Amino acid sequence: MTPITLTSRAARRINEIMGAEPPGSMLRISVNGGGCSGFQYAFDIAKDRAADDLAVERDGATVLVDPTSLPYMEGATIDFVNDLIGQSFKIENPQATASCGCGTSFSL
């Protein structure tokens, strides 16, 4: 399995967000059916890690991915962008064959 990569910009932003959350909170990213392209990413704050979660760590930030979502995110890079359109987490997924304009949904 190709690992999921977390950029330093994403790690920095996750740490900023988690600073306002209870200690031990982590970012959970999952893949759900829906969105304009078939699948969409969901971002949630998790207080607990399940035994079968994948934990991606960098610079003190932790991202959790559940085993159901993991095959859809294999090889992905999680980044954080701040541009004229706004700020957001951006997932570059090598498996995605198409994505929507907002970047939160994709198809395989």
| pLDDT tens string 53-101 | 999 999 999 999 999 999 999 999 999 998 877 888 989 988 877 665 5
Check: CB of residue 95 under 8 Å from CB of residue 39. Answer: no
The pLDDT value given to residue 99 = 65
Task: Give the fold, CATH level 3, of 5-97.
Answer: Hypothetical Protein Aq_1857; Chain: A; (2.60.300)
> Domain residues of the chain, as ranges?
5-97
- Starting from the edge strand earliest in sequence, which strands make up the sheet with 77-83, in order? 5-6, 77-83, 86-92
| pLDDT tens string 3-51 | 999 999 999 999 999 999 999 999 999 998 876 667 888 999 999 999 9
Tokens at residue 68, please?
């159901």
**What pTM value is reported for the model?**
0.86
The whole-angstrom separation of Cα 70 and Cα 81 is: 23
